[in-house]
Amino acid sequence: MVEHNFEILDVTFAALADPTRRAIIERLSDGEQTVSNLAAPFDMSLAAVSKHIHLLTRANLVSQRKEGRVRHCRLEPQTLQAAAGWLDHYRQFWNDKFSALEKFLEEETETPVNHSQKGKRKK
């Protein structure tokens, strides 16, 4: 069985269950950014964006460092990777289902064709 740290996963998923926070993560995937840069495109106060960043930091999805008065944020990809782990399970599961369905439909297709050939021969 694959090892998951479930408590961390729970915190991670809670942090990701918000469109603003997902947008922040998406923007950080292009590289490190200052907090004010990050906040600029959002239609909300700097304080509100800071709160989202704080939550992401607590979930270890984002880390911050201070350079003088400027705070820089960067993505912590390994946490995101762990959260994505469950997707791999389902991806495998549904891939298996799709293969099984295709096989079943192919086998089903062969049967009626044989029947109709039989029918023709009888005529």
Contact residues for another protein (CB under 8 A)? 1-2, 4, 6, 9-10, 13-14, 16-18, 22, 25-26, 29-30, 75, 77, 80-81, 83-84, 86-87, 89-98, 100-106, 109
Shortest distance, position 99 Cβ to another protein, whole Å: 9
Shortest distance, position 5 Cβ to another protein, whole Å: 10
Q: Between 19 and 68, name the residue whose CB sits nearer to another protein.
A: 19
For 44, phi then psi, to 5°, come to -155, 165
Shortest distance, position 115 Cβ to another protein, whole Å: 16
Q: Between 19 and 119, name the residue whose CB sits nearer to another protein.
A: 19
Residue identified by tokens 């298996």 is 96
Q: What is the DSSP letter of 4?
A: -
Q: Between 70 and 92, name the residue whose CB sits nearer to another protein.
A: 92
Distance CA 115, CA 85 (A): 46
DSSP output for 58-116: HTTSEEEEEETTEEEEEE-HHHHHHHHHHHHHHHHHHHHHHHHHHHHHHHHHHHHHHHH
Q: Between 40 and 96, name the residue whose CB sits nearer to another protein.
A: 96
Q: Which two tokens mark 90?
A: 């389902």
Shortest distance, position 41 Cβ to another protein, whole Å: 16
